[in-house]
Amino acid sequence: MNTRMRIRQVKEVEIEGLGEQIKQARLNCSKSLEQICDEVGVSRTYWYDIEKETLKGALSIENLRKIEQVLSVDFGVTLVGESNA
């Protein structure tokens, strides 16, 4: 019987000013905050923590990509080994 074990790799990077970039993109977007949060799948409180860069943990790359998609922007964040599927 062949079994496989999955291994998780976690890498965190710090991007200076990303919260402010996200805030400015939101302010330049025609969508309401409620609509943005709904499309990204986060609460308003969590969104404000992103903008203020006060998250208790790190922003996941998945959520960053959702934010970019919903706001129609590219913040230029690329992680080594990230799939572009």
pLDDT of the chain along its 85 residues, tens only?
788 888 877 778 888 999 999 999 999 999 999 999 999 999 999 999 999 999 988 899 999 999 999 999 999 988 776 655 4
Whole-structure pTM over 0.75, yes or no? yes
Q: How far is CA 9 from the centre of its chain?
A: 18
Look up residue 28 and give its amino acid.
N
61: containing domain: 31-71
* 16, part of any domain: no
pLDDT for the residue numbered 85: 44
The Cα-based distances of 38 to 32, 47, 50, 64 in angstroms read 10, 11, 15, 14
pLDDT for the residue numbered 44: 97
* 42, part of any domain: yes
Number of domains making up the chain: 1
Rounded to an integer, what distance in angstroms lies between the CA atom of residue 42 and that of residue 3?
A: 36
Rounded to 5 degrees, what angle do the CA atoms 33, 39, 45 make? 45
